[in-house]
Amino acid sequence: MTNEHNEHLNTNDMPQFPESYWWDSITLPSFPKLTEHREAEVVVVGGGITGVTTAYLLAKAGLKVVLVEAGRLLHGTTGHTTAKITAQHDLIYDELIHTFGQEKAQLYYKANADALHFIKRMIEDHKIECDFHEQDAYIYTNSDTYTTKLEKELAAYEKLGIHGDLVEQIALPIPIKSALVMHKQAQFHPLKYLKKLVELFVQLGGTIYENTTVETVEKGEQPEVVLRDGHKITCKHVVSCSHFPCYDGMRFYFTRLYANRSYVIGVKSEKRYLGGMYISAEDPKRSVRSATSANGDNLLLIGGESHKTGQGICMIKHYEALQAFAQQTFGIEEFAYRWSAQDLVTLDNVPYIGHLSSSTPNIYVATGYRKWGMSTGTAAALLLRDMITRKENAYEELYTPARFHLVPDVKTFVVQNADVAKHLIGGKLEMVSKKPESLSNDEGAAVSVNGKRAGAYRDKKGNLHLVDTTCTHLGCEVEWNEGERSWDCPCHGSRFSYDGDVLEGPATEPLKKIEQS
Ligand code: FES
């Protein structure tokens, strides 16, 4: 594609380190680590939008709630989202009608519309200043094949009573054939909104612990949440909002979920942005919305380049592709931010929210939101609150993790697991010749140490960090993620820091450190 802005593209303008705009524009309170045994009625594990909203709702219902987070609150996917609050989850409704039937497809829409309504009401009731703006959401295409798909999706909207239209023009300076709009969706600053929910939770008597890692859960009438350092929290209900469930209970969730990584950049543009939230129907996916930077400048958030975790090209290339799109479409005045996020996807594209299994009625999970965590995380919190307080909720059956549809689940299941086997075997056989000595400062790679594959990162001061690249979950070989400076597992999405600490599960043990002789 040629473009008037192309000649100005300069990859050196890219921020040196990944940092989310949301995190850069707010200060959040910090909370202590739990260092003793405790009791509670409900333990919520995971401090993202689902965990914080669930904890708030349960405390408001009068329950004694403890929220534990392995790292910092709101620092996972919630702090790295594009923060669109919408029921337009890409092209989904035509597929849902075929897989689940019209009634469930309609429930899926309503659950997300309810979530948007709940967020809006919270903002109004508590006067939360969080840059909330109503926006129309668009899926656009420049291909004939996807135009037909958009027409089918509009037919699904009409069957389900969703307020939408097909249009031939949008307010983005790119050629399109067609776009499907869902009216009156919204965008906000997720951390400004959730900061208020955290304050309300604490005012209601809730307790939060950060840097508190859950090792496992001992099931029973009074389940015990066991922390990595051996302390326990005894409770009546455990809610896992930690992406991969903090306790699997032999349900093998890692075979029913796969991890995707995607990228976001924040740029100040040369062209004026005329509003709306957009996503392309076809690949390469491009997601666009605006935000307001701390000093009042208009920032464009451009996302895309999604791939299975640990299986992408060189990470910087993904940012460069988004940078090129931004430059060609809007012109970049300043490249202010870049960051990435990991999302989990279920076999049938509908999240798992509800009882972990029928034999553990007091342990709940919420996971597999694809890329739609703002509405789905809120819908999950509302459902979990109702399940724990024994209120009827129309969405319980739709989201139950107990479901296993034969089509297309089984096909996806086989493909996913064949993919895992490929990485399990392929990674082991891969020959690496690179030596740790050849690494420059701030460079990481798979290297050969004493004839064996190892992971090496030389930090900015020149210190070398060596780890065993065998993932501690089930033994696949982790790959270097240059963008985030982490070791990522291509099999089920575990991530480890450059010196091996667990950043994201399902792995719970760190990578082994290697001492160089
Ligand atoms: Fe399962 Fe690595 S996450 S083998």
Each residue's pLDDT tens digit, 458-467 = 999 999 999 9
Task: State yes or no: pLDDT of 6 exceeds 50.
Answer: no
Mean pLDDT, to the nearest integer, of 249-270? 86
Q: Could you please state the CATH topology (level 3) that the domain comprising 406-517 is classified under.
A: Rieske Iron-sulfur Protein (2.102.10)
Compute, in angstroms, the gap from residue 424 CA to the centroid of ligand 1: 9
Secondary-structure breakdown of the chain: helix, strand, coil percentages, each rounded to the nearest 5: 30, 30, 40
Mean pLDDT, to the nearest integer, of 423-430? 58
Task: State yes or no: pLDDT of 428 exceeds 60.
Answer: no
Residue 7 has what pLDDT? 36
Rounded CA-CA distance 503/506 in Å is 10
| Residue of 499, 501, 475 whose CA lies nearest to 489 | 475
Using a 6 Å cutoff on CB, does residue 507 contact ligand 1?
A: yes
User: With bands split at pLDDT 50, 70 and 90, how would you rate the model's confidence at 295?
Assistant: low
Residue 506 has what pLDDT? 85
Q: Which residue has the tokens 């019209």?
A: 102
Task: State yes or no: pLDDT of 259 exceeds 80.
Answer: yes
Q: Which residue has the tokens 């790119």?
A: 174
Q: Which residue has the tokens 């299986």?
A: 311
Q: 31-81+191-256+349-404 belongs to which homologous superfamily?
A: FAD/NAD(P)-binding domain (3.50.50.60)
Reported pTM? 0.87
Compute, in angstroms, the gap from residue 494 CA to the centroid of ligand 1: 6
Q: Which of 476, 477, 503 to mutate to test the pocket of ligand 1 (most atoms within 8 A of CB)?
A: 476
User: With bands split at pLDDT 50, 70 and 90, how would you rate the model's confidence at 327?
Assistant: very high
Residue 411 has what pLDDT? 54
Q: Distances from the Cα of 9 to the Cαs of 85, 322, 325, 434, in angstroms?
A: 32, 12, 10, 32
Name which of 184-193, 244-253, 264-273, 313-322 the model is least confident about. 244-253
Residue with CA closest to ligand 1 atom 4: 474
Compute, in angstroms, the gap from residue 513 CA to the centroid of ligand 1: 17
Residue with CA closest to ligand 1 atom 3: 492
Q: Which of 467, 486, 491, 511 to mutate to test the pocket of ligand 1 (most atoms within 8 A of CB)?
A: 491
Name the residue ranges covered by the structural domains of the chain: 31-81+191-256+349-404, 406-517
Residue 8 has what pLDDT? 41
Question: Which tens digits make up the pLDDT trace of 29-78?
Answer: 999 999 999 999 999 999 999 999 999 999 999 999 999 999 899 988 88
Task: State yes or no: pLDDT of 287 exceeds 90.
Answer: yes
Q: Which one is predicted more confidently, 413 or 56?
A: 56
Indicate which atom in ligand 1 lies nearest the CA of residue 507. Answer: 3
CB atoms within 10 A of CB 313: 11
Using a 6 Å cutoff on CB, does residue 471 contact ligand 1?
A: yes
Q: Which one is predicted more confidently, 180 or 297?
A: 180
User: With bands split at pLDDT 50, 70 and 90, how would you rate the model's confidence at 474?
Assistant: confident
Mean pLDDT, to the nearest integer, of 281-299? 86
Compute, in angstroms, the gap from residue 93 CA to the centroid of ligand 1: 32
Instruction: Return all residues near 390 (Cβ < 8 A) that are at least 6 apart.
Output: none
Indicate which atom in ligand 1 lies nearest the CA of residue 489. Answer: 2
Mean pLDDT, to the nearest integer, of 424-438? 70
Task: State yes or no: pLDDT of 412 exceeds 60.
Answer: no
Checking DSSP bridges between strand 443-449 and strand 452-458, what pairing results, if any? antiparallel
Helices within 126-234 (DSSP H only): 144-160, 190-203
Q: Which one is predicted more confidently, 16 or 204?
A: 204
Indicate which atom in ligand 1 lies nearest the CA of residue 424. Answer: 4
Task: State yes or no: pLDDT of 419 exceeds 90.
Answer: no
| Residue of 445, 508, 437, 434 whose CA lies nearest to 477 | 445
Compute, in angstroms, the gap from residue 136 CA to the centroid of ligand 1: 39
Indicate which atom in ligand 1 lies nearest the CA of residue 505. Answer: 3
Indicate which atom in ligand 1 lies nearest the CA of residue 492. Answer: 3
Helix (H, G, I), strand (E, B) or coil at 359: coil
Task: State yes or no: pLDDT of 303 exceeds 50.
Answer: yes
Residue 5 has what pLDDT? 37
Residue 352 has what pLDDT? 95
Compute, in angstroms, the gap from residue 108 CA to the centroid of ligand 1: 30
Using a 6 Å cutoff on CB, does residue 491 contact ligand 1?
A: yes
From the number of C-beta atoms within 10 Å of its C-beta (0-12, 13-18, 19+), residue 500 rates as: buried
Phi first, then psi: give them for residue 292, nearest 5 degrees: -110, 125
